[in-house]
Amino acid sequence: MDDTPLPGLPAGATARIDGTRASIILDVTGLTAADADAREAQARAVAEAAGLEARVARTATRVARRLIAVASGKGGVGKSTVSANLAVALAKRGRPVGLVDADISGPSQPRLFGVEDAKPDAADKRMYPVATPAGVPIVSMGMLVPKDQAIAWRGPMLAGALGQLLDAHWGAADPLILDLPPGTGDVQLTMVQKHRPAGAVIVSTPQDLALIDARRAIDLFEKAGVPIIGLVENMAGYACPHCGEVSDPFGSGGAEADAARLGLPFLGRIPLSREVRAASDAGTPPAAGNGTDAAAFDAVAQAVDDWLRANGG
């Protein structure tokens, strides 16, 4: 073999020549699927121009990144909406954030980001996250199965699917927001045991019934040694669009009071809003805008961003 370099190879490519064959190692760390394909095509073109048969092997360095779990303990409290808008608001602050739809059996993120028809590319048996108009790349089982097909899997299959989503070609993304399913079951156990989140955000409505299950989620993370970043009170207060009077259909202040009682940070309050519902159904996360609804998510993101800076930058 000859280690003589091939002039014109793209960045990240090295070649060894054996007769008429060029064995090219191409580092695609941090590249999108399209950029990786383009770089490989460039490397092959250089070899072929020199009269050589090109054999290309891609490599990528696994980047250490922080995982932020968003959990609720109970379904129906708006956890997926909070996850999506938290990711968008962090991206607005300049963080290269990605989002994993870890709710394997009930994936919502493709709808929330307006990419229901998108399919992820793959290379080396690993997916590339799908880019979204809001600037947050995502992966979700909702992109891999027919839209209305039930995903009725047992624990080992759920754990395997979660591992594949986390093992995607995330490039320089840090942190990853994990939209966990409700409860404290197989996916949560796999997450805390194998993938170890840097911290957890707990979402609850103000009502006692939701707070009971939120406390169970807190207990799971605390027993696993995962720091609780804080609590978010969602669906907190509804302003009448006609008279402006604020009512509290789910109660008021429950999550904030629980945070104080448990000695945990309170991250903020998200009002119950028809605009948030409509924007979410339309695939346009409100946090991407500049209105009142965006401000509520921005306040939560600021608290999470402060926590990230205090815990590794």
User: 76 a known binding residue?
Assistant: yes
> Contact, 207 vs 254, CB < 8 A?
yes
Higher per-residue confidence, 125 vs 158 = 125
Residue 149 scores a pLDDT above 80: no
pLDDT, position 58: 84
Question: What pLDDT score does 75 carry?
Answer: 79
278-308: pLDDT as tens digits: 999 999 999 998 888 899 999 999 999 999 9
Under the banding of pLDDT at 50, 70 and 90, the label for residue 16 is: confident
| Long-range pairs of 51-56 with CB within 8 A, sequence gap ≥ 24 | 51/20, 52/6, 52/17, 52/20, 52/21, 52/22, 53/20, 53/21, 53/22, 54/22, 54/24, 55/21, 55/22, 55/23, 55/24, 56/24, 56/26
- Predicted confidence (pLDDT) per residue in 228-239, tens digit: 999 999 888 767
Work out the mean pLDDT of the chain and round it to a whole number. Answer: 86
**What is the spatial distance between Cα 133 and Cα 91, in angstroms, rounded to a whole number?**
12
Res. 255 pLDDT band, cuts 50 70 90: confident
Q: Is 160 annotated as a binding residue?
A: no
Model pLDDT, residue 157: 78
pLDDT of residue 106: 83
Task: Judge whether 75 is annotated as a binding position.
Answer: yes
Considering only CA atoms, which of 235, 309, 299, 313 is closest in space to residue 268? 299
Per-residue tokens: 170: 């995330």
What residue spans define the domains of the chain?
13-59, 67-310
Q: State pLDDT tens for residues 161-210.
A: 888 899 999 988 999 999 988 776 777 777 777 788 999 999 998 877 77
Collapse the DSSP code of 312 into the 3-class scheme (helix H, G, I; strand E, B; otherwise coil) and give the result.
coil
Query: Is 78 labeled as ligand-binding?
Result: yes
Q: H/E/C letters for each residue in 70-103?
A: EECCCCCCCHHHHHHHHHHHHHHCCCCCEEEECC
Is the pLDDT at 147 greater than 80, yes or no?
A: no
User: What pLDDT was estimated at residue 84?
Assistant: 97
SS3 at position 16: strand
Q: How far apart (Å, rounded) are the C-alpha atoms in residues 289 and 273?
A: 15
Which pTM value belongs to this model? 0.79
Confidence of residue 3 (pLDDT cuts 50, 70, 90): low
Strands 126-127 and 122-123 come out as antiparallel
Tokens 């009269």 identify what position?
51
CATH classification of 67-310 is 3.50.50.60, yes or no?
A: no
pLDDT, tens digit, for every residue of 83-99? 999 999 999 999 999 99
The whole-number pLDDT of residue 245 equals 66
Q: How far apart are CA 176 and CA 69, in angstroms?
A: 8
Q: Can you read off the two tokens belonging to residue 262?
A: 């448990």
Q: Is 23 left (phi over 0), alpha (psi -120 to 50) or beta?
A: beta
The percentage of the chain sitting over the pLDDT mark of 70, rounded to a whole number, equals 92
Whether residue 147 is annotated as binding a ligand: the answer is no
Taking the CA atoms of residue 71, residue 141, residue 138 and residue 205 in that order, the dihedral angle to the nearest 10 degrees is -20
pLDDT of 247 reads 67
Q: Which tokens is 36 given?
A: 């990786």
Instruction: Name residues whose C-beta falls within 8 Å of residue 158's C-beta, 6 or more positions apart in sequence.
Output: 104, 105, 186, 187, 190
